[in-house]
Chains A and B, each alone.
Chain A
Amino acid sequence: MSTTFDETAVLAPPKPSRSPWRWARENLFFSAWGTLATLSLALLLAWALPPLVKWALLDAVWSGATRDACLTPEGTVGGGACWVFVKVRFGQLMYGFYPLEQRWRVDAAALTLALGLATVLPLRAATQRAAALAGVVIGGLGAGWLGGPALGAVVALFLAGPLLLARDLSALRRLPAVARVLLVVGLSVLAAGVGGVAFGTPKAFGWVTLVLAAGLFGWRFDSLRAAGLNLLGLVFPVLAQALLSGGAYGLPYVPTEQWGGLFLTLTIALTGMAASLPLGILLALGRRSALPVLRLTCIGFIEFIRGVPMITVLFLASVMLPLFLPEGVGVDKLLRALIGVALFSAAYMAEVVRGGLQALEPGQREAAESLGLGRVQTMGLVILPQALRVVIPGIVNTFIGLLKDTSLVAVIGLLDLIGIIKTATSDPNWLGFAAEGYTFVGLVFWVLCFSMARYSLRLERILRNGVA
């Protein structure tokens, strides 16, 4: 410590210090109250955390296949977590009561969805291309393994056509649009033809659906993303329904009562997301319409749904809906829950979208109209793309809320993740392991929700920087 006045020492900027002691003094012990808070909180954590770690990891039982593995020699429940319980129930937690030998169908649908999403979501172009290629190869091989080489060829051709013709990655991009559409439709018809010859007429209906879908699907393929979007929106629902329910193409029928676990949770969440976004957009547009009847209907619907708990909407769908349908028209329990979830989240989505519409300057609409664009074009090409981009964080937040809210279907008796673990923990053979079960299910939900939130942040950054 010098006592003389040294000008250079005063003028020099403070050196960033990396010493841990300095860091601790600035961030933990900067004042008397700060020190007190740090010490008391540290004491609390030191009291609470070690037993938790001991329970969850150190004293936990990981191996074994029965309840006995988790008991002390005296026959009481031990002090550590019994992860054997989760291990034994793992299959049910993932697939519910979907028949064991049919579970690959769920995996196949999930894989298709993952590859499809990879071509649509804003990821690196190379990742998207890799996913598309993987889709073609895996789809072809998978179908070939299932139904023989003919089916494999059909599926591969069907998938390859539009994906490889997508303007942003194909060498054929210079062909006129008509030629490309014809090429894709041709490939699809060829695929359907091979399929028809190979599998005979009873399956023709399915193939007609596929050809029609392909026609729509090849309708717009400016980019891989457009092709992927068409594939996900038009082909995937048909494919997933056929694959998961079965009852055709030699796949045994699996009633929705046997669906469950994470699979059911994701099914409800994804269907809800897919339905609530377009419904929400329509409701938001309706709410801002100049037509009073339309506007009041939309406002009434949105405010009603937002004013009541989701449980009552589910009760409405599960108990009251059958009353309002003609006698004898039974609606599947899962479908009723899906309707309830979709209506509920659509109302919340509508308010999010409305925020985006309100944030847009009126000049955008006026400019579009003065350029001679019609109503639909103004909305689809100018207003909505900008409005939706503004509210992406809100949309993802609604999706996260939707994923968490799907857990409520357990209340009306569906066996989603929560429903399964609720039954599993009340199994008389496995009483006393509720903490383990809920911890595991919580971990699954947490990873899903947290990664969605993180992806939303990334998406915001990508869109703000204007790099897709």
Chain B
Amino acid sequence: MTNDRSVPEGPPRGPAWTAARIRGLAIQGAILAALVGLLAWGVGNAIHNLNKAGIAAGFHFLGNRAGFDINFRLIDYSPAATYGRAFVVGVLNTLTVSALGIVAATALGFALGIGRLSRNWLVSRTAATVIETVRNLPLLLQLLFWYTAVLAPLPRPRNAISLGGLAFLSNRGLTVPGPVSDGPVWMVWAALGLGLAAAAAIGIWSRRRRIQTGQRFPAGWVGLALIVLPPLAVLGSGTVPLSWDIPVLKGFNFDGGLTLVPELIALWLALTLYSGAFIGETVRAGILSVPKGQVEAAQAMGLTPGAVLRLVVVPQAMRVIIPPMTTQHLTLLKNSSLAVVIGFPDLVAVFSGTTLNQTGQAIETIGMTMAVYLVVSLAISFGMNLYNSKMAIVRR
């Protein structure tokens, strides 16, 4: 295909698809072949090795009797339950400790981050010292420190440290009074749920009205009242008689009340401090990212210091803070797997630990464990991306 016009001298050019396309296709084909080959080789070896060890691949083992006990659980479980049930207990424990840790670490993180920026020299130095100490130590070390060096040497229940005669701290954990009731407890939860829904509705309505008419409505206080008051009203009405079960020493341990096992306390404490320090740095960076001119402009418009903070600094800082803070929350979820080291029965300990050792189903147990973390991580990342696109500055 030549034409009559003379082409200036230069490198000969072939059709566009030859060089780059073919090379690209060849490289991709090679990668695909290598991956498939590696996979086939690995799976072949695995099948051979499993046959040799007499382990049947598959998820049938989930229906078998587990035979081990779990000392911290939110749902009914006994050694007679199945491995599948143990898996659910593990997932719930992981989610519980992560949720506890996320709430506490976020609160601590804001305190540390704002504290480090404080005008008060003592406060800012203390916050900086805490952050720099905690951030530069492995989480595993901190976890073992709290568990082995602080909680384990606590006195036995007999000599427990009494906190006002109601709660007791001993080497069996923290025992606190627990609420007991034979009435229809579900009514309290239902009232709480209704209150939450009503508070959310009020919030949406007040925001919409503010945008349309500019009128303010104290949605925060009303919402709080809507959440707190209905359950209290149900309790106060006497339909659900509530009494407090105060722990008493009986034999070698406490009877009654609720007990937080030392494993949970150590894990919670370590996760809170570690993630709190990192969140503190995130918060600090977020606040520092708000240009000084914004504060000055707000002050020039006559806003009170509180309003400057609430209406100008915080909304802009949060836009910067929230994405890395979510990353920290995800890290906390993943870090909660260190529970296996101190024997707290989280997902990894129950499933990739005990269940794997008892059944030998390495591929299935580790795969299921990883899948849980992956699903939660990807779901939160997805939600985060939605939030980001919603919060991003609208460019006009």
A interface residues (Cβ-Cβ under 8 A, vs B)? 27-28, 30, 34, 37-38, 41-42, 45, 290-294, 297, 303-304, 306-312, 315-316, 319-320, 322-327, 400, 404-405, 407-408, 410-411, 418, 422, 425, 432, 434-435, 437-439, 441-442, 445-446, 449-450, 453
For A41, give its contact among B126, B138, B352, B366 (CB under 8 Å): B126
Known: A293-B28, A294-B31, A438-B145. A309 touches B49 (CB 8 A): no
| Cα of A292 to Cα of B139 in the assembled complex, Å | 38
**B42 contacts partner chain A, Cβ-Cβ < 8 Å:** yes
8 A/B residue pairs, CB under 8 Å, sorted by A:
A37-B120, A42-B122, A290-B24, A307-B373, A319-B366, A325-B45, A434-B144, A450-B132
Q: In whole angstroms, how far apart are the Cα atoms of A290 and B140 in the complex?
A: 41
- Contact assessment for A34 and B45 in the assembled complex, using a CB-CB cutoff below 8 Å: no
Given the contacts A418-B140, A432-B153, A320 and B363 also touching, CB distance less than 8 Å = yes
- The answer to whether B366 touches A323, judged by C-beta atoms less than 8 angstroms apart, is no
Other than the given A441-B141, A449-B135, 9 more pairs (CB < 8 A) read A30-B119, A291-B31, A292-B28, A297-B31, A320-B366, A324-B46, A434-B144, A445-B137, A450-B136
In the complex, A411 Cα to B353 Cα: how many Å?
11
Interface residue B325 (Cβ < 8 Å from any Cβ of A): no
Contact B45–A434 (Cβ < 8 Å): no
Residue of B nearest to A422 (CB): B144
Complex Cα gap A180–B143 (Å): 56
Cα–Cα distance between A385 and B338 once the two chains are bound (Å): 37
Q: Which of A323, A432, A435 contacts B45 (CB 8 A)?
A: A323
B residues sitting closer than 8 Å to A (CB atoms) are: 24, 27-28, 31-32, 35, 42-43, 45-46, 48-50, 52, 118-123, 126, 132-133, 135-142, 144-145, 148-150, 152-153, 334-335, 337-338, 340-341, 348, 352, 356, 362-363, 366, 369-370, 373-374, 377-378
Chain B contacts of A404 at CB under 8 A? Answer: 136-139
Residue with the highest number of chain B CB atoms closer than 10 Å, among A291, A325, A407, A410: A407
A309 lies within 8 A of B335 (CB): yes
**Which residues of B lie under 8 Å from residue A311 when comparing CB positions?**
337-338, 340, 348, 352
Residues of B within 8 A of A326 (CB): 45, 48
Neighbouring A residues of B48 by C-beta, 8 Å:
326-327
SS class, residues of chain B in contact with chain A: helix
Q: How many A-B residue pairs have CB under 8 A?
A: 158
Cα distance, A310 to B352, chains bound together (Å): 13
Chain A residues lying within 8 Å of B118, measured Cβ to Cβ, are: 37
Which residues on the A side are within 8 Å of B135 (C-beta)?
449
Q: Is the CB of B28 within 8 A of A434?
A: no
Q: Is the CB of B136 within 8 A of A449?
A: yes
In the complex, the chain B residue whose C-beta lies closest to that of A326 is: B45
A262 CA / B378 CA spacing, docked (Å): 36
Question: How far does the Cβ of B177 sit from chain A's closest Cβ, in whole Å?
Answer: 27
Given A293-B31, A327-B45, A438-B145, A28:B137 Cβ within 8 A: no
B348 touches A309 (CB 8 A): yes
Task: Please give, as numbers and ranges, the residues of chain A lying within 8 Å of B369 by CB-CB distance.
Answer: 312
> Known contacts A309-B334, A311-B340: does B31 contact A442 (CB below 8 Å)?
no
**Complex: how many Å from CA A28 to CA B121?**
6
Residue of B nearest to A329 (CB): B45
A322 CB to closest chain B CB, in angstroms?
8
Of the candidates A28, A292, A400, the one whose C-beta lies within 8 Å of that of B120 is A28
Q: How far is the CB of A391 from chain B (nearest CB, A)?
A: 16
B49 interface neighbour in A323, A405, A449, Cβ under 8 Å: A323
A308–B126 touching, CB < 8 Å: no
B46–A323 contact, CB under 8 A? yes
Is the pair A425, B337 in contact by a Cβ cutoff of 8 Å? no
7 smallest beta-carbon distances between A and B, as pairs: A324-B42, A449-B136, A435-B149, A27-B121, A309-B337, A293-B28, A307-B377
A297: which B residues are within 8 A, CB to CB?
31, 35
Cβ distance A294 to chain B, nearest Cβ, rounded Å: 6
Docked-complex contact B138 and A434, CB < 8 angstroms: no
Residues of B within 8 A of A323 (CB): 45-46, 49-50, 362-363
Chain B residues, CB < 8 A from A30? 119-120
CB distance from B304 to the nearest CB of A (A): 15
Q: Select which of B35, B122, B153, B337 is within 8 A of A28 by beta carbon.
A: B122
Residues of B within 8 A of A446 (CB): 133, 136-137
Candidates A37, A312, A434, A449; contact of B366 at CB < 8 Å: A312
A442-B334 CB under 8 A given contacts A37-B123, A293-B32: no
